[in-house]
Amino acid sequence: MQKKYTLQKSPFIVPTTDGKLIEEHFGLACDANSEISIAHMIAPSGWSEPFQIPEFDEYTYIIKGKKQINIDGEIVILEAGQSIKILKNTKVKYSNPFKQVCEYLAICLPAFSPTKVHRDEA
């Protein structure tokens, strides 16, 4: 009989160079799932990514701290207990300019892919 669930005990740790911890529980890097990615993230104080225009919807839920999001020029501060959905093909920049770490969950539909995030090179 085939199992009707998948228990994730060992998420894939995505290598980073910016001090951010990314633990992918489901997604392309972890289990080759192209439909959805679910990742637990910890962004250090001062962390920032370049602008991007991803080909996926991204949902973010803040567990601890705050995260700043620039959405087409509008600044949104997301705090613990809050969540947001950002539609695909939206110009967005994620950062943590605050003096505390930000712990959050990110869910991407379809799954996150480096080839579909389209980050600015600058």
The closest of 61, 49, 65, 115 to 86, measured between CA atoms, is 61
pLDDT attached to residue 122? 60
Please say if the pLDDT value at position 86 is more than 90. Answer: yes
Please report, for the domain that includes residue 80, its CATH number: 2.60.120.10
Domain hosting residue 56, numbered range: 19-107
pTM of model > 0.75: yes
* 96 domain residue, yes or no: yes
Q: Percent of the chain scored above 90 by pLDDT? A: 97
Please say if the pLDDT value at position 1 is more than 90. Answer: no
* 121 domain residue, yes or no: no
Total structural domains within the chain: 1
The CA-based angle 78-37-72, given to 5 degrees, is: 40
pLDDT tens per residue across span 2-58:
999 999 999 999 999 999 999 999 999 999 999 999 999 999 999 999 999 999 999
pLDDT attached to residue 103? 98
* 119 domain residue, yes or no: no
Number of residues assigned to the chain: 122
